[in-house]
Amino acid sequence: MATKKAAPKKTTKKTTTTKKTVSKKAPAAGTKAAAKKPSSPKSYKMTVGVDVLPNLIPHVVPSAGRLTAAHKNLPEHLQPMKISNNRMYLVEDEQLSQVDSLIEMQIESYKWFLTEGLKELLEEITPITDFSGKKMELRILGHSFDPPKYNPDTCRRRNLSYEAIMKGNVQLINKETGEIKEQDVFLGSIPLMTDIGTFIVGGIERVVVHQLVRSPGVFFSKMPDYPKYHAAKIIPKRGVWLEIETDRRGNISCKIDRKRKIPVSQLLRVFGYETDSQILDLFSDVTGEKDFILQTLEKDSERSVEDCYQSIYRKIRPGDLATPENAKQMVDGLFFDFKRYDMGAIARYKLNRRFGKKLGTEEEDRVFQVDDFVEIIKELIRLNNGQGTPDDIDHLSNRRIRSVGELVQNKYRVGLVRTERIVKDRMTVMDQETVTPMQLINSRPITAAMREFFASSQLSQFMDQTNPLAELAHKRRLSAMGPGGLSRERASFDVRDVHPSHYGRICPVATPEGPNIGLIVHLAGFGKVNEYGFLMTPYREVKHTVSLDADKLTGRILDETIKESRKIIAKEGDVIDTKALANKVISQLKKDKRTEVPVRGYLSGKVEYVDAEQERHFTIAQAQREFSEFGEFLHTRASARKSGEATFAHVRDVTHVDVSPKQILSVSTALIPFLEHDDNTRASMGTNMQR
């Protein structure tokens, strides 16, 4: 794949990274105008020079090339059965008409970082005020990029890094005088991705491997010591972890960041349910043979809200003086301050799906929600009473992908927080009248954090350049190791094992044969990632009805006997072979006030990408089924999967069909001919030896 050339340099003088400081002098303090607050800041926007953004963001090049008339010169037995979407099909069934770019995950993720990810980070720290909050305020109104100095080929030849300079449009407000100064300030050098999904650091091509980690949200599991009782763990994106446990006597308690146990009733009191009767009424609909809430209330000695605040404070900070004021301030800060507690869009999405809520991703919806806490305790009580099943931690609905954009964003955040601290320190020592935004901001921590990630992170690796397949496989690799992940020493067999939810998402064959087995895996050929980082796979939709249209019904097989009083018009399994018979069936269904005709399941032509959680509710037939010219199943029963288990289902229950027999495999494994005849260990060796 050819790399994009950089725009030719202009022969103008070298520009500086700063604008002329613009000062807007306000009236003297004490006058009527001086009492006004500074005007509201401009809305945040990312600005770039003309034709710069296309050079920064790599393009997703479709995997299908442009066809020429060359196929006409092929031997007769190699002539394509069909040409569609710039592809030659050597078999009649095209299965999935278009396969997207195989490095789309890498490119789209980094594109998100350059546009949305950086914007999120800069909005997170804006505004920055001095320690008193009364003298100065610094706002970052937008960010922009300069064109890269060299193109990728030049960087490879000269051992340079392929990167662009990032600037921020910074506004400094003097709160005492109302004076506003604006400058464009250097915010670090950002490495750029090439069109082939790699980074060039010091002339060396590197790949950032996707990380497979536990998803934020809530997880229910059995208590290890007494399995009949259960525990719940609430993991936010940022903030304290909350573990809710049931002991052998039936008391429900909480641990905040693995500190000492707190009766759950104390947290409920500080969250607004102050009396025993309010708490008991809250859980009256889930009380079973054993009343877990009543048992917890009887053990809890604290009754007033103030006492509960102080009790929680003493358990989190033993030895500190606990007064009602500082205890309340600490507890409220832990759960309801967005800067300290952020559930995150992913956890919010999972909680909404689990409990049927419709909360958004705004700040007020992403802090700790008391309603969520109550629903989690109710679910825990249901599990303790034998209703429902706990979560499978290895299911792909509970694991997600951190792609390159998110990994780089996390590292940039580290540098940005260090820069924020430097800005606050400088605000206290510099002259308030003469200081400029450029003097306050030191971008070295940002540049150092980015260099540290790309040069030494466990997930930033030298690209495997043994052959083109090795390059492609490296870009589609998933690792459970790395920062915030597992280590090979403490990873259990269950984590490494193949799981039914991996079907079509993670290849069961492609993995190393050494100590990293099962911890480093590869994305399946048709696998994709959704906006929340959960893996998806495509299926063809199956429909079981057609509209009341004689043309659409003719030639199809009925799935229900149609009667007119006692007279049978058509039986279940009959082929509607004439238009006259189709009109009779439709006429009778209209009399019965029905809007659709039940027919044998057929392929609708729609391809749907689904994640592992959605797949639980589907019955999915194999791709090798035989279909009629109308896309109907030729037989009434089909081998299928339901909730990850193999079954033999009636076609009436089938909702989807695999798009391809090889969708379970990675790109490199799918190249092995007649793979189904190989032993799995031989297939694994064959996959690894191709690269």
Instruction: Give the angle 221-224-228 at the CA atoms, nearest 5°.
Output: 70
Taking the C-alpha atoms of residue 443 and residue 419, their distance in angstroms, rounded to an integer, is 7
Structure tokens at 244: 């809710």
Taking the C-alpha atoms of residue 44 and residue 12, their distance in angstroms, rounded to an integer, is 30
Residue 177 neighbours by CB under 8 Å, 6+ apart: 25, 26, 29, 34
Kindly indicate whether the domain formed by 42-58+102-212+403-460 is annotated with CATH number 3.30.720.110.
no
CA torsion, points 615, 618, 619, 620, in degrees to nearest 10? -50
Instruction: Give the angle 295-298-299 at the CA atoms, nearest 5°.
Output: 90
Distance of alpha carbon 385 from the chain centroid: 33
Yes or no: say if 504 and 526 are a contact pair by the CB < 8 Å rule.
yes
Residues forming beta bridges with residue 254, ordered by sequence position:
244, 262
Q: In this structure, which amino acid lies at residue 168?
A: G
Intervals of the chain under pLDDT 70 = 1-72, 77, 81-82, 84-99
Backbone phi, psi, residue 656, to 5°: -145, 165
Taking the C-alpha atoms of residue 32 and residue 28, their distance in angstroms, rounded to an integer, is 9
Q: Closest by alpha carbon to 244, among 365, 372, 364, 367?
A: 372
Q: Closest by alpha carbon to 193, among 208, 212, 213, 176?
A: 208
Q: Kindly provide the b/e burial profile for residues 413-443, where b requires at least 16 CB atoms within 10 angstroms of the residue's own CB.
A: bbbbebbbeebbebbeeeeeeebbbbebbbb
Yes or no: say if 83 and 89 are a contact pair by the CB < 8 Å rule.
yes
Structure tokens at 631: 């896309």
Yes or no: say if 265 and 296 are a contact pair by the CB < 8 Å rule.
yes
- State which H helix or E strand residue 569 sits in: strand 567-570
**pLDDT at position 75, please?**
75
Q: In this structure, which amino acid lies at residue 476?
A: R
**Helix (H, G, I), strand (E, B), or coil: what is residue 352?**
helix
CATH code, 536-658? 2.30.150.10
Q: How much of the chain is helix, strand and coil, in % rounded to 5?
A: 30, 25, 45
Structural Rg of the chain based on CA atoms: 31
Yes or no: say if 220 and 380 are a contact pair by the CB < 8 Å rule.
yes
Residue 661's region, left for phi above 0, alpha for psi from -120 to 50, else beta, is alpha
Instruction: Give the angle 405-411-412 at the CA atoms, nearest 5°.
Output: 85
Is the pTM higher than 0.85? The answer reads no
Taking the C-alpha atoms of residue 148 and residue 372, their distance in angstroms, rounded to an integer, is 47
Backbone phi, psi, residue 522, to 5°: -130, 145
Taking the C-alpha atoms of residue 126 and residue 624, their distance in angstroms, rounded to an integer, is 56
- State which H helix or E strand residue 314 sits in: helix 305-316
What CATH superfamily classification does 217-396 receive?
RNA polymerase Rpb2, domain 2 (3.90.1110.10)
* 342 DSSP 8-state letter: B
Yes or no: say if 202 and 195 are a contact pair by the CB < 8 Å rule.
no
H helix runs in 159-270, sequence order: 264-270
Taking the C-alpha atoms of residue 664 and residue 690, their distance in angstroms, rounded to an integer, is 19
Count of other CB atoms within 10 angstroms of residue 189: 18
Distance of alpha carbon 73 from the chain centroid: 47
**pLDDT at position 108, please?**
93
* DSSP E strands, 56-179: 82-84, 87-89, 128-129, 136-145, 163-174
Taking the C-alpha atoms of residue 486 and residue 286, their distance in angstroms, rounded to an integer, is 37
Count of other CB atoms within 10 angstroms of residue 104: 16
* DSSP E strands, 265-365: none
**Helix (H, G, I), strand (E, B), or coil: what is residue 137?**
strand
Domains 42-58+102-212+403-460 and 217-396 share a fold: no
Yes or no: say if 575 and 621 are a contact pair by the CB < 8 Å rule.
no
**Helix (H, G, I), strand (E, B), or coil: what is residue 461?**
strand
Residue linked to tokens 């049931």: 246
Question: Is the torsion defined by CA of 40, 41, 44, 45 positive or negative?
Answer: positive
Q: In this structure, which amino acid lies at residue 102?
A: L
Question: Where exactly are the structural domains of the chain?
Answer: 42-58+102-212+403-460, 217-396, 536-658
**pLDDT at position 17, please?**
41
Structure tokens at 552: 């659409």
Q: Closest by alpha carbon to 402, among 212, 217, 535, 237?
A: 212
Taking the C-alpha atoms of residue 378 and residue 279, their distance in angstroms, rounded to an integer, is 12
Structure tokens at 465: 């350049």
